[in-house]
Chain A
Amino acid sequence: MMACLLEAPLRISVLSEVTATSRHYVDRLFDPDPQNVLQGVIDMKNAVIGNNKQKANLIVLGAVPRLLYLLQQSSSSLELRTECAVVLGSLAMGTENNIKSLVDCHIIPALLQGLLCSDLIFIEACLRCLRTVFISPVTPVQLLYTDPTVIPHLMSLLSRSRHTKEYITQIFAHCCKTPEHQTVLFNHSAIQNIAPLLISPSDKVRMQALKCFSVLAYENTQVSMTLVNVLVDGEQLSQVFVRMMQRDKPIEMQLTAAKCLTYMCRAGAIRTDDNCIILKTLPCLVRMCSKERLLEERVEGAETLAYLMEPDVELQRIASFTDHLVSMLADYFKYPSSVSAITDIKRLDHDLKHAHELRQAAFKLYASLGSNDEDIRKKITETENMMDRIVSGLSESSIKVRLAAVRCLHSLSRSVQQLRTSFHDHAVWKPLMKLLQNAPDEVLVMASSTLCNLLLEFSPSKEPILDSGVIELLCSLTQSDSPALRVNGIWALMNMAFQADQKVKVEIVRALGTEQLFRLLSDPDTNVLMKTLGLLRNLLSTRPHIDQIMSSHGKQIMQAVTLILEGEHSIEVKEQTLCILANIADGNTAKELIMTNDDMLQKIKYYMGHSNVKLQLAATFCISNLIWNEEDDSP
C-alpha cells in the first residue's frame, strides 16, 4: 500500500512530461513556416514509431485533424503530404481505439481523395494507411463502397507498383464480406486484374491476391464459374492454385489455395471427382488438421474440409481413411491441455481462446464425415469418448459449439445401429431436450430434426422422451414461423404416432387440436402438408384406434380430406390422402362416414379411373377395404 501511494505522484509527473513533449509536436504542426511544419511532421514520425502511448497522446491532443488538413491542402508540398500520410499510417498501427478515432475524423474519404494525386510515393503512403485502417475489425467495411468511383480507381492503380498491388489486394481481401461486395468487385473486373498477380515474384503480393480470390469465390457461382476459365500465363487458374498447395509453400498459402479450390468446387465450377480436388485439395486440407499446424490453421482447415465434402459421399470416404483423420480430430478436444496449464500462462490463455473454435470445428467435420456412410459413422462413434464429448458439447456455453455438436449428433443419428446402441447408452436425449427448451432457431432446427430420428419406432430412446413431455414442445414447434421448424415438429409427431399406443395418439390429437391440424393441412409448404397427412395416416391405424378417433373427430377429418382431394395438389399428396381414406374404410364404424358420403364415393370412383397408376392403386385399396369390411361384418 505504501509503495503504491509513493509511486502514484511519480507516475503522474512522467505522464505530464510525455504529454508536454507530445504537445510540442502538435504545436509545431501549426507553425507558419511550411519548412518547420515539414520538419515537425518528420520528427513526429520518428517519435511515434512503435510507441503506442505517444500515438494515443497525439490523437487526444488533436493532431489528426491537423494532419488531415495538411494532407488534403493542395498548397502543401508533396513531401509534406506524403509525410502526413506516413504519420497517419503509423498512428493507425496502434490500438483499436486509435483506429476508431481516425475513422471518426473521416480519415478514409480524405485518403481516398489523396489517391487521385499523380505522385506514386504519395499514393503508396495513402494506400498503406488505408490498408492498415481497413484490415482492422472496427472499421466499417461499407466505407469503401460509398463512393462508386473508388473501386474502379483502385483497379486502375493496381498495376502501378509492387506496393500498390499488395495494399490494394489486401484491402479487397478484407473488405469483401457480402455477396453485394463480391458483385461490385466482380463487375469492376477484379478477376482479370488480380489474376496476373498470382504469379508475381513477390510472395506478399501473391498471398494477398490469393486471399482476394478466396473471398470472391466464397459461395459465389458467378465468380467461381469465371475463375475456372481464367488463364494465367497460359496456365489454368486451378493449376496455379494446385501449385500453391505444394508442401514446401508457406502453410498460409497452401490453406488459402485449398480454400479457393473448395469454394470453386462447391459452386459447381470444378467436379468433386476432379484430380485437383481428390488428390490435391482434400489431402492438403487433411494436412492442415494435423497436430503440427497452429491452432488457427487447424480450425480453418477442418471447417473448410467439412464444407468441401458435405455433399459428396466419395470425398467423405476418402477423407475418412486419409492420414487417420478421424482419430486426429479427437485431439481437437484436448485443449487446454494439462501440459499447457503447467508450463506457461501465455500458452494456457492462447489455448483457452481457441478451445471453443477447435471443438466446434471438429464437430462440424465429424458431422460432415458421417452424414452418409454407415461405416464412417461407426468409426466416429468408436473414437475415444466421442459420445461423451457430444453430450457435453450440447450443453456448452458457446452457441457455436452447441450448434456444431447437435449437427454432429444429427448426422450420427441417421444410423439405425447407433440409435439402438450408443445413443441410448449415453442418454443423449436428455441434453437434447434441454437444448430444445430455449435455443435460437438454427440450433432448434438441428435439434428437432435429430429428435425426429430419436423418435423413430425402433429407437429405444423413444419411451423416455415421450415421458418428458415432448408432445407439447413439438406442437409448439408446429406453430413456428420457420417452415423448417414446422416440418420438423410435425415430422417428429408423425414418427411418434407410428404404431403408437392409443394413449399417445389421443394425447397427440388433444395437444395439437383439430384447428392447428387444419392450419397445417393448408400450409404453403408441401413438406409440412405431406408430413401432416402422414401423421393422420399413422394416427388412423389399427381398427379400434380408427373408430375411436373418427368418432370424436370424424367430421373434421372428412372435411379436410375432401378439401385436399378437391384442391390443386401434387400426385403424392393426393395419394397420401387416399391412403388415409383407405385407413378410415378399415374401421368398423368409421367406414360409415364414407359409405354415407356420396360425394366421397364419387371421388373414389374418379380416382380409380385416374391416369396415374399410384392414385388408381390407392383408390382401389380404399374400395377393397370398404368391401372387405362388409363381408367381415355379415354373418
Chain B
Amino acid sequence: MEPRQESVIPASGRDYRSSSQDSMSSVTQRWTVWNCAALLCQTSARILVWLLGLLYFSSLPLGIYLLIMQNTTMGVLMVSLVPVSLLIVMVWQAVGIDGRNQIAMSGPSSGCGFLMSVVVHGDLALSEQEKELNQRLRSLYPAVNEQETPLPRSWSPKDKFSYIGLSQNNLRVHYKGHGKTPKDAASVRATHPIPAACGVYYFEVKIISKGRDGYMGIGLSAQGVNMNRLPGWDKHSYGYHGDDGHSFCSSGTGQPYGPTFTTGDVIGCCVNLINNTCFYTKNGHSLGIAFTDLPSNLYPTVGLQTPGEVVDANFGQHPFVFDIEDYMREWRTKIQAQIDRFPIGEREGEWQAMIQKMVASYLVHHSYCATAEAFAKSTDQAVHEELASIKNRQKIQKLVLSGRMGEAIETTQQLYPSLLERNSDLLFMLKVRQFIEMVNGTDSEVRCLGGRSPKSQDSYPGSPRLFNSPVHKASSSQTYQTSTYYIHKIFFLPAWVKKHLTKMILQKSGLLHQKKNFYTEVEMEVDHFSNGVSESSSNGFLNGSSTHGIDLEELDSAQSKRQLCGGSQAAIERMIQFGRELQSMSEHLRRERGKNSANKKMLKDAFSLLAYSDPWNSPVGYQLDSIQREPVCSTLNSAILETHNLPKQPPLALAVGQAAQCLSLMARTGSGSCAFASVDDYLH
C-alpha cells in the first residue's frame, strides 16, 4: 500500500499524473542500456556470423580431407553439414511463418544471408501485430493492471484437449480427432481468465471452415472444466453452438438462442462484468443476452467436434466486426450517471464541511498561503499552522521550483537546522538536483558565475510551453569543442561511468537521430501534462509576498542559447568541482549506510547528462525539465511538515489515493464497474 500512495502524492497540483512520468524514465533507462547492448551485439554478431560462415563453407573440403585421412566420423559429419542444413531450411520454409522462432535459432548456424533477412522481416510483422494488439487492449481496457491480471492474448497450448491443434501464434484452432461421437469433442481455453477490471470484455472467432458437421461451440468456461467436451455442457461452462444456434448454459440440452453459424461467419462473445451477463454477435449484429449470473474468472473457450473444423480467434489483434466501443460507451455513461446521482441524503451539510476542510488543508500543505487564508475565511475554518511557517515553506518551495537549489538548501538549513543533518538521503537528493540545475545553468552558484544578472533569478517558466519551443541548434564546431572538453574533464568520474560515457560520446552522432524521434514523442506527452499543471504552480507565485516578475525576454534568451551551465567556463569548473563533492558524498553515504540503489541510480542519471553535447535533447535530458523539480520539492515539503508533526500528505491526496486503491480492490474482487470509474476522470 505504501509505495503506491507514494507515487500518488508527489508535488503541487501535478500529483496524480506523475506515474506516467515514472514510466517514461524507466523507458529511457532501458533505452540507454539497450543501446549499449545492441552495439555490443552488432559487432560480436558480425564476427560470429563470419566465423560460422567460414566454418560452413570450408566444411565440405575439410570433410573430404578428413575422409581421405580416414577420420570417418568427423569426415561424414563435416560432409553432411551442408546438405543437412539445406534440408532443414527447406523444411522450415514449407512449414511457413509459424516456425519463425525456430528459424531464428537455426538461421545463424546455417549462415544463410537470405534466411536472416526473412527472419528479421517476419519478426517485424509479428511485432507490428503485437503492437496493434497491445494498443487496442490498452484502449479497450485501460483499467486493467496487466501485471496482476493479464489479458487473454491467445489460446493456451497447455490448457487444451489432445484433439485440438493450434497454429498461427496459437490463434488458429483446428480439430484433429476422429469426430465420430460427442465423446470426441475437444475444447481449448485462452491463456488467462477475463479480468473483472475490463468492465466489458469482448473477443471474436471467425469460422474458417465448418468441417464435416460444423459442431462448433464458442463460449466461456472456468478453470478445470473438462476439455473433452464442448463449451456449455458442464457446470461453469457456457457456449453458443453453430449447428443448431442454441445456447448451452451448463447443461447438455440447449435453449433456442440465435441463428446457426457456418464457414465465413464471425461470431463475437461479449462478457459484461458489471451485471455478469453475456451476449453473442454474428457478423457484427448483437444477438441479445444469452447468459445471466455468470461466475467470475471465466476463460474464453472454443470447442470443436468434427474433422476439418478450423476457427481463428481475435483477442484484439485485428479490429472487431462488432462496434464494441459503442457498447462500452453506453455502460460508461451508465456507471458515471450512477456515480453522479449517488444519493447523499440528509448528510449533505456534513459532506460540504468535510470537503471544505480537505481543500483548506490541501492549500496549507502546498503553502498557497494567501489562497488558504481567503478560503478559510470564507468558509469559517481555522488554519492549523502558523502563517510564518507556511511562508517559510513557501519560500523554500519557490526556490526549488525555480531551480535555485543551492539557496534552497541553505535556507532549509537556516530555518530547519537539524532537518537535513538527520535526513542525509534527502540532502543527497537535493544535492543531486543542485548538480542537475548547475548543468541546466539555473542554480544560483552557477548563475553568478555565468555573469547573468542575479536579480532576475526566476527561471521557472510561468508557462512550461516555453520549454518546448523549438530548440536552438548549437553550431557543430561548438558541439565538438564541448564534447572534447568533456572527455578531458570527466576524469573525476568513476571508471565505469567513464567507460560508459566515452562509448556514448563516440557513438552519439549515429544514434542521435533515432533518439530525437523518440524524444519528440515523449516531449509531446510532457507538454500535455505540464499544461494542466501550470495553473496550480503559478498560483504559488502569485501568492508570494515578494514579487518576482518573470522576465520573459531574459527567459527567451536563456532558451535560445541553452548551453552547459549557462555557457560560462567558470560555471563549468564549479559544476565539475561540485560533481566531485557529490561523488565523495555518495561514497561516504555508502560507507555509512550501506548500498542504496535509488541513490546510485539518481547519481548515475545525473552524471550521464555530461555525456551529451546537448543534454537537453539527450535520452537523459528529461531530468533538466522543470517538472522534475516538483517531486524534489514535494519530498522536501513533506519532510519539513513531518518535523512539525503535521501530516506528510494532505488529506485530499490521501482520499484520492484511497479512491484509487478502492478501485483496484474492486478489480480484485471482481466487480466490473471499476472499469468505467477512473479517478483521473474526476480530476480536471
Contact = CB atoms under 8 A, between A and B. Distances in A.
Contacts, number: 34
Contacts of B680: none
A322 interface: yes
B333 A248 contact: yes
A279 B284 contact: yes
Contacts of B282: 321
Interface stretch (B266-274, B321-329, B575-583): B321-329
Given A321-B258, A321-B259, A321-B282, A248 B329 contact: yes
Contact of A322 (B287, B289, B333): B287
B604 interface: no
11 contacts: A247-B329, A248-B330, A248-B332, A280-B323, A283-B286, A321-B258, A321-B285, A321-B287, A322-B287, A323-B288, A324-B287
B287 A323 contact: yes
Given A321-B258, A321-B259, A321-B282, A247 B288 contact: no
Contacts of B329: 246-248
A409 B330 CA distance: 37
A318 interface: yes
Contacts of A322: 285-288
A323 B282 CA distance: 11
Residue picked from B259, B285, B286, most chain A C-beta under 10 Å = B285
Interface string A241-267: 000001110000000000000000000
A324 B288 CA distance: 6
Interface of A: 246-248, 279-280, 283, 318, 321-324, 328
Contacts of B288: 322-324, 328
Interface in B326-372: 326-327, 329-330, 332-333
Nearest to A282: B285
A324 B287 CA distance: 6
A397 to B, nearest CB: 34
A279 B333 contact: no
A323 B259 CA distance: 12
Contacts of A323: 286-288
B327 A247 contact: yes
B277 to A, nearest CB: 13
Interface of B: 258-259, 282, 284-289, 323, 326-327, 329-330, 332-333
Contacts of A283: 285-286
Closest 9 CB pairs of A and B: A247-B330, A324-B288, A323-B288, A248-B329, A248-B333, A321-B259, A247-B326, A322-B285, A247-B329
Nearest to B327: A247
Contacts of B289: 324
Nearest to A379: B256
Given A246-B329, A248-B330, A279 B323 contact: yes
Given A322-B286, A324-B287, A324-B289, 16 more contacts: A246-B329, A247-B330, A248-B333, A279-B284, A279-B285, A280-B323, A283-B285, A321-B259, A321-B285, A321-B287, A322-B285, A322-B287, A322-B288, A323-B286, A323-B287, A324-B288
A280 B322 CA distance: 10
Contacts of A246: 326, 329
Contacts of A247: 326-327, 329-330, 333
A253 to B, nearest CB: 13
A206 B289 CA distance: 33
A283 B283 CA distance: 13
Nearest to A382: B256
A247 B286 CA distance: 14
Contacts of B286: 283, 322-323
Contacts of A324: 287-289
A323 B286 CA distance: 6
A323 B287 CA distance: 4
Nearest to B285: A322
B31 to A, nearest CB: 39
B344 to A, nearest CB: 25
B403 to A, nearest CB: 41
A283 B329 CA distance: 15
A246 B329 CA distance: 8
Nearest to B321: A279
A248 B286 CA distance: 17
A318 B283 CA distance: 10
A247 B337 CA distance: 14
A47 B308 CA distance: 82
A318 B285 contact: yes
A248 B329 CA distance: 6
A280 B326 CA distance: 10
Contacts of B326: 246-247
A318 B329 CA distance: 23
Contacts of B332: 248
A203 B266 CA distance: 37
Contacts of B330: 247-248
Nearest to A286: B286
A620 B285 CA distance: 55
B470 to A, nearest CB: 30
A328 B286 CA distance: 14
A248 B328 CA distance: 9
A397 B289 CA distance: 36
Contacts of A248: 329-330, 332-333
Contacts of B333: 247-248
A248 B326 CA distance: 8
A283 B332 CA distance: 19
A324 B326 CA distance: 19
A372 B125 CA distance: 47
A516 to B, nearest CB: 50
A328 B282 CA distance: 19
Contacts of A328: 288
A318 to B, nearest CB: 6
A248 B333 CA distance: 6
A280 B286 CA distance: 11
B73 to A, nearest CB: 68
B204 to A, nearest CB: 14
Residue picked from B259, B282, B288, B330, most chain A C-beta under 10 Å = B288
A279 B323 CA distance: 9
Residue picked from A247, A279, A322, A324, most chain B C-beta under 10 Å = A247
A248 B676 CA distance: 13
